[in-house]
Amino acid sequence: IGVNALQVVLAPVPGHVIGLANGYLFGILMGTVYSMVGLVIGSAVAMLLGRVFGRPLVVRLVGSDNIEKLDRMAHRRGHIFFFLVFLLPMLPDDLACFAVGLSPLSIPFILLLAAIGRLPGMVVSSWIGAEAGSMSTTGWALLLGGALLLGFLAIVFRKRVEAALLGLARMIDRRKRSP
């Protein structure tokens, strides 16, 4: 739980790697529970750091370019944008926690959205970790190849994914506002 919380604030490793380890060590259910508790605690700490210490600390921790970009999107799209960031893999969800702290958005509500959005990914990570001991070499090779391919595609198509994400947030926002 502590390692998961720290990885959100310090971001030395992706959270799914820890989810894999939790699944391997504790099984699917408890691995997911431990991962989610740590992610919620870490997310709350990151949001509170942003809220209490403001932009100077957040810029020092995650860089001005990242925060300015997330900050602009947060002010334009709010809750919907953050839910999609937490739901979709390969997006900077840990950095988004700091941006939430800089925004006027409700931290408890965003924490709920973060937990709901991150849950599917943590279940999959814990499941893979729990099955790691019984997975064949071919299975591992396919899993690693698929992960590398997804990572490569995320890097190559990052701008398109961001544009699609913003378009989806705009569409949901318009539907929410129309009577």
- The string of pLDDT tens digits covering residues 36-79 is 999 999 999 999 998 999 888 888 877 777 777 777 766 666 77
> The pTM is what?
0.77
Nearest Cα neighbor of 134 from 18, 14, 16, 27 is: 27
Higher pLDDT, 167 or 116: 116
Tokens matching residue 60? 């020092």
- Looking at per-residue pLDDT, the higher value among 167 and 84 belongs to 84
SS3 track for the chain: CHHHHHHHHHCCCCHHHHHHHHHHHHHHHHHHHHHHHHHHHHHHHHHHHHHHHHHHHHHHHHCHHHHHHHHHHHHHHHHHHHHHHHHCCCCCHHHHHHHHHHCCCCHHHHHHHHHHHHHHHHHHHHHHHHHHHHCCHHHHHHHHHHHHHHHHHHHHCHHHHHHHHHHHHHHHHHHHHCC
Structural contact between residues 86 and 60, judged by C-beta atoms closer than 8 angstroms: no
171/44 Cα distance (integer angstroms):
28
pLDDT tens profile 90-137: 677 888 888 888 888 889 999 999 999 999 989 999 999 998 888 788
Out of 3-17, 36-50, 158-172, the most confident range is 36-50
Q: How far apart are the first and last CA of the chain?
A: 44
pLDDT at 45: 95
**Tally of CA atoms within 13 A in the half-sphere of 71 that contains its CB:** 17
Per-residue confidence (pLDDT) for residue 176, from 0 to 100 = 62
Tokens coding 78: 């709010």
> How many C-beta atoms lie closer than 10 Å to residue 35's C-beta?
30
Residue 126's pLDDT is: 93
Q: How many CB atoms lie within 10 A of CB 151?
A: 13
